[in-house]
C-alpha cells in the first residue's frame, strides 16, 4: 500500500522513495506551530519542508498506531506515533494523516499534529 510505504520511507529518511510516492502536483495541508494549516504545493515544496527537519540528524521513528483505514476508494486515513531524539531533547507525538491517492502516488495530504508547537520547536532547533 502506498501510504504504508511512504510512512516506512519517512521513518528511514528515504527521500528517493518519498519522491516516487508523491505526485509532482501534490497539495498538502500541514499543521503549523499554532495549530493552523499551511498549504504546501508540489512534491518539491513538500520535500523541502521535510528536508528542513534534518531527519538524518535525529534518532526517530514513525509508526502506525493502527492499520490504515480506507475512507473512500481513493482516500486512506493513517494514525501515527512519533518518537524522536536529538541533541539531548526528545519528542513524543501523534498525528493523523488523510491521503488522497491517485494510482500509486499521494495526490493530496491533510495532516493534523497532536502537539504542533512542541513538534515545531523540536524540529526547528
Query: 69-85, pLDDT tens digit by residue?
Result: 999 999 999 999 999 99
Query: What is the C-alpha to C-alpha distance for residues 65 and 95, in angstroms, rounded to an integer?
Result: 10
Q: Which domains can be identified in the chain, with CATH numbers? A: 2-124 (3.10.450.50)
User: Which is it for the CA torsion 117, 121, 123, 124, positive or negative?
Assistant: positive
Specify the pLDDT at position 124: 86
Q: What is the pLDDT of residues 33-53, one digit of tens each?
A: 999 999 999 999 999 999 988
Nearest alpha-carbon partner for 108 in 120, 119, 98: 98
Task: Say if CB 6 and CB 18 are below 8 A apart.
Answer: yes
Question: What global pTM score does this model have?
Answer: 0.91
Amino acid at each position: 500500500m502506498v501510504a504504508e510505504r511512504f510512512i516506512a520511507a519517512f521513518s528511514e529518511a528515504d527521500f528517493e522513495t518519498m519522491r516516487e510516492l508523491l505526485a509532482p502536483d501534490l497539495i498538502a495541508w500541514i499543521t503549523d506551530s499554532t495549530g493552523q494549516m499551511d498549504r504546501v504545493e508540489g512534491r518539491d515544496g513538500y520535500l523541502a519542508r521535510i528536508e528542513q527537519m534534518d531527519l538524518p540528524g535525529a534518532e526517530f521513528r514513525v509508526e502506525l498506531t493502527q492499520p490504515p483505514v480506507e475512507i473512500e476508494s481513493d482516500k486512506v486515513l493513517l494514525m501515527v506515533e512519533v518518537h524522536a531524539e536529538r541533541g539531548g531533547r526528545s519528542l513524543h507525538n501523534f498525528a493523523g494523516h488523510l491521503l488522497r491517492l491517485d494510482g500509486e502516488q499521494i495526490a493530496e495530504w491533510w495532516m493534523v499534529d497532536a502537539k504542533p508547537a512542541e513538534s515545531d520547536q523540536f524540529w526547528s532547533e
